[in-house]
Amino acid sequence: MNRLIFIPIRNTNNTACAIRVSALGAAMITSLMCLQLAFSTATFAANDTSTKKSFELQAGYKQEIQKIKSDEKVSKALAYVATVVERAERELIEITEIPAPPFKETARAQRFAEMLREAGLTDVVIDEAGNVVGRRAGTLGKRTVAYSGHLDTVFPEGTDVTVKYRDGKMYAPGIGDNARGLIAVLDVLRGIQHAKIKTEADILIIGNVGEEGLGDLRGVKHLFREGASKIDSLIAIDGGNAQRIVYGGVGSHRYKVTFKGPGGHSWGHFGLPNPHHALGRAINNFAKTAPQVLSSGSKTSYSVGRIGGGTSINSIAFESWMEVDMRSGDQTKLDEIDKVFQAAVQQALDQENKAKLGGDDLTVDIERVGKRPAAQGNKNAALVQRAIAATLAMGVEPSLAIASTDANLPISIGIPAVTMSRGGISGRAHALDEWWQDENAYVSVQIGILTLLAEAGLAD
C-alpha cells in the first residue's frame, strides 16, 4: 500500500508549511534532507579546499632571497615585469578566448607553445599527453626545475569565452583559472630572458593539460610518470591571492555509480526493481554513515555532484547514475570515507533487490573516474621556505594552505612542489561570470621570479 505522508518544511520565506507525498517520496526527500544536513558540516571543505597554516621562516632562506633580489640582473627583471602590464592584458584576452575544454586543450597549447618561442625558447615541444614543455638550459644541468600553469578550463565545448569589461573587471569563463596563470608563467620567463639571467639548473616552462575535473591531473601524471625525464621540483601557478602558497595536497576520490535493471512501464511492470530507487537508497545510506568519518581528524568532504538516467516520467528507468566527489588532506581519512561510500552503495543494491516484487535483480557498476593523492607537505622544506622568503621580500605576508592542485602528485611521491599565485584579484571561479582584475598582478610575477631563481640557483 502506498501511504500518503505529510512532511513539515519551511519555504523560501522561512514560513512553516507542509507537503503531502507518498511513502516512497518521503524516503527520497528524507534522503536529500539528511544529505543536506550532513553537508552543512562539510560544505566549507568542499567549496574551499585550502586550510591556512602558520609558518616560521628560517634565516638562511631570507638571506638567500635578499642576495638574489639585490643582484643587478635580477633587479632588472623585477623592474621589467612591472612595465609590461598592457601587453599582459592583451595576451590574457587572447589566451582566454582560445577555448580549452577538458581533454580539448590543443588549440590553446599550440598558441602557448608559440608564445614560448616568441619569448626566446628554442627547445619547445608538445608531448604525448598534450603538455607544452619549453626547456631553458642551465649552466650545470644537474637539476631540473619545472614552472607550470595548467591550460585547461572546466567549461564544456561551445561555452562563450569572449572577454567583457565591466566595473573595472574583466569577465569571461576561465579568465582567472587559469588563463591568467599562463600569462604569469610567460611573464616570469620574459623577465628572466630580458635580463639575460643564467641559472645553474635547467628550467622547464610548462603549460600542462588535465588539471581540472575529470582531467585528473593527467598532465602532471605524465610528466612525473615512471621512466620520464627527471624533474627535481615543481612550482605550479594557480590561485588568485599573492600571499597564497600551497604546500600540501587535498586528495580526492571520484566515482560514477550506475545502477542497471530491465526497466519497463511504470504501471504495467510495477514491482520490478527500480534503479532510481536504488540510487536514492544509496544517497540516503551514505548521508547517514559518512558523518562518522567527519566527526574527528582532518577535514574531509563529500558531494553527490550529478545524477541522471531514466527514459520518461511513466517509465521504470533501466539505469540511474550519480557522480560522487570525496576529499581530504589525509589519505587515511580519504580511504576511510571511500570505504563507507562503497558499503552504502552495496547496501542500497541489496535493499532494492530484496524489495522487488518480481523480475531480475539490479546490478551496479562503480567506476573510479578520478584519483588525486592526498599529500602531506612540509612547511620547512627548502622550496616552501624559498616561496615564503620571496613573498615576504616583495612586501606580502604569506598564507600557507593545502589545496587540490597540480602540486598534489609530486608532493605525494616525495618531490618538492608548491602552488603559487597568478596575481591580481579574481572571483566566481568555475562560473560563467568569472572575473579577474589587475590589482598589482605584477607583484606575483616578481615573487615567482625570486622563487624560481632561488630554486634553480643563480649562476655566477
322 and 225 within one domain: no
Q: Give the tens place of pLDDT for each residue, 195-245.
A: 999 999 999 999 999 999 889 999 999 999 999 999 999 999 998 889 999
Query: What count of other Cβ atoms lies within 10 Å of the Cβ of residue 304?
Result: 18
pLDDT for 105-115, tens place per residue? 999 999 999 99
Q: Are residues 359 and 381 in the same domain?
A: no
Q: 261 near 341, Cβ under 8 Å?
A: no
344 with 360, same domain: the answer is: yes
Residue 101: pLDDT over 90:
yes
Please tell me whether residue 373 adopts helix, strand or coil conformation: coil
Pairing of strands 300-309, 417-420: unpaired
Summarize the confidence of residues 250-272 as an average pLDDT: 97
Of 364, 429, 344, 392, the C-alpha closest to 55 is 392
The pLDDT assigned to 155 comes to 97
Of the pLDDT bands very low, low, confident and very high (cuts 50, 70, 90), residue 142 is very high
pLDDT for 233 equals 98
pLDDT at 213: 86
In a domain, 34, yes or no: yes
Q: What is the DSSP string of 398-425?
A: -EEEEESSTTHHHHHTT--EEEE---SE
Determine which of 2-11, 168-177, 231-240, 352-361 has the lowest per-residue pLDDT on average.
Answer: 2-11
- Check: CB of residue 321 under 8 Å from CB of residue 307: yes
pLDDT in tens, 4-53: 443 444 343 333 344 344 444 444 444 444 444 343 333 333 334 444 44
Q: Which domain holds residue 240?
A: 59-250+375-456
Cell (9 digits) for 442: 605584477
Please check whether residue 186 is in contact with residue 179, taking contact to mean a CB–CB distance below 8 angstroms: no
pLDDT cut 70: percent of the chain above it: 88
Same domain (yes/no): 63, 194:
yes
On whether residue 30 sits in a domain, the answer given is yes
For residues 210 and 201, what is the distance between their CA atoms, to the nearest angstrom? 26
Could you give the CA distance from residue 399 to residue 255 in angstroms, rounded to a whole number? 32
Is 188 contained in some domain?
A: yes
pLDDT value of residue 459: 95
- Does 224 lie in the same domain as 345? no
Across-strand partners of 146?
Answer: 204, 234
> What percentage of residues in the chain have a pLDDT greater than 90?
86
d(CA 92, CA 260): 46
- The reply to whether 232 and 259 lie within a common domain is no
Angle, helices 442-456/72-81, rounded to nearest 10 degrees = 150
Number of domains in the chain: 2
Task: Indicate whether 244 and 167 sit together in one domain.
Answer: yes
**By the 8 A CB rule, do 200 and 459 touch?**
yes
Q: What is the pLDDT of residue 271?
A: 96
Residues 68 and 194 in one domain: yes
pLDDT at residue 54, as a whole number: 75
User: What's the per-residue H, E or C state across 267-286?
Assistant: CCCECECCHHHHHHHHHHHH
Q: Which of 341, 372, 403 is the last residue of a domain?
A: 372
The residue from 336, 351, 372 where one domain ends is 372
Whether 90 and 238 map to the same domain: the answer is yes
CATH number for 237: 3.40.630.10
Using CB atoms within 10 A of its CB, is residue 267 exposed (0-12), middle (13-18) or buried (19+)?
Answer: exposed
Domain membership of residue 67 (yes or no) is: yes
Q: Which amino acid is at 130?
A: G
Indicate the residue among 322, 343, 372 that finishes a domain.
372
For position 299, which CATH number holds? 3.30.70.360
Tell me the pTM.
0.85
Per the domain annotation, does 211 fall within a domain? yes
363 shares a domain with 336: yes
pLDDT digits (tens, 9 = 90+) for 64-83: 999 999 999 999 999 999 99
User: Quick one: which of 422, 387, 421 has its CA closest to 88?
Assistant: 422
Same domain, 177 and 74: yes
Closest by Cα among 409, 221, 401, 253 to 333: 253
Contact in structure between 273 and 356 (CB atoms under 8 Å) = yes
Quick one: average pLDDT of 315-330? 97
- Mark whether 213 and 163 lie in a shared domain: yes
pLDDT above 70 for 320: yes
Whether 238 and 177 have beta carbons less than 8 Å apart is answered as yes
Q: Assess if residue 14 is contained within a domain.
A: no
- Inter-residue contact 155 to 416 (CB < 8 Å): no
- How would residue 183 be classed by pLDDT, with cut points 50, 70 and 90? very high
Asked whether residue 53 is assigned to any structural domain, the reply reads no
Burial class (CB in 10 A: 0-12, 13-18, 19+), 233: buried
CB 138 within 8 Å of CB 197: no
Model confidence band, residue 460 (pLDDT cutoffs 50, 70, 90): confident
